[in-house]
Amino acid sequence: MNKSEQNKSYALVTGGSGGIGKAVCIQLARQGYNLLIHYGSNKATAEAVAASVREMKLEAEIIKFDVANREETRKVLGDWVDQNPNKSIEILVNNAGIRKDNLLLWMRDEEWDDVLNISLGGFYNVTRLVVEGMIKKKKGRIINVVSLSGIKGLPGQTNYSAAKAAVIGATKALSQEVARRNITVNAVAPGFISTDMTEDLNENEFKAMIPMRRFGKPEEVAEVVGFLASTGSSYITGEVISVSGGL
């Protein structure tokens, strides 16, 4: 085994087949990281993202598991870690999440549970597994994709706001636990971004609320994630950066 095979740095992006997830994968590849692209159901899109990364002469693998399922996450992701001792996850981007908007008065139990289990439970299930390796290597970047909804709250999103606000709190707490190990933990809070997740929204109606008068692009979120993954952000931890056009 040559030196290059002994230590390959990977970035794991959960929800890597979505709009923001795809942009993040491409951005991190441009910064020289091999990619471990997580997906829940859209294998074709995950494969397409992986192909784009490989075109940059980097390695890319796709991995499927339900982030909300603790046993499945530990089995699938744990097996990948065990079977690839020459590969280390140096960057973790917790991006997986869903919206199931409804007023709390009419919210169904599954709308609450599914949103919390994926965003908050997924953060715990994946990070708990990955942070152990970062601590051993004394190196790592954890970047959580949260939301403007988790900062200010939005009507019809009590579940989503609660999940993202909880991850913001976890970001601040975890950052203090691992800072001595040269691991930073930060969050990026997008506002209205043009992706599949917002295609049901009337852009003309909502952009009037935004000082910049437009929805953001996934690449604009990815640029911030890329900065937080870089050496340029080495003294920044426990922070939440909004990408919301001033909203």
CATH of the domain at 87: 3.40.50.720
Report the candidate in 160, 161, 163, 186 with the shortest Cα–Cα distance to residue 173. Answer: 186
Domains identified in the chain, total number: 1
pLDDT on residue 39: 96
Instruction: State how far the Cα of 78 lies from the Cα of 158, in Å rounded to an integer.
Output: 33
Q: What is the DSSP string of 6-46?
A: H-EEEEEETTTTSHHHHHHHHHHHHTT-EEEEEESS-HHHH
Q: Which of 10, 33, 124, 160 is catalytic?
A: 160
Q: Residue ranges of the chain with pLDDT lower than 50?
A: 1-4
pLDDT in tens, 169-217: 999 999 999 999 999 999 999 988 886 665 666 667 777 787 878 888 9
pLDDT on residue 197: 60
Residue 39 appears among annotated catalytic residues: no
With contact defined as beta carbons under 8 Å apart, do 203 and 151 qualify?
A: no
pLDDT on residue 4: 43
Contacts of residue 173, Cβ cutoff 8 Å, sequence gap at least 6: none
With contact defined as beta carbons under 8 Å apart, do 13 and 28 qualify?
A: yes
pTM greater than the 0.85 cutoff: yes
Instruction: State how far the Cα of 164 lies from the Cα of 166, in Å rounded to an integer.
Output: 5
pLDDT on residue 198: 59
The residue range of the domain holding 212 is: 3-243
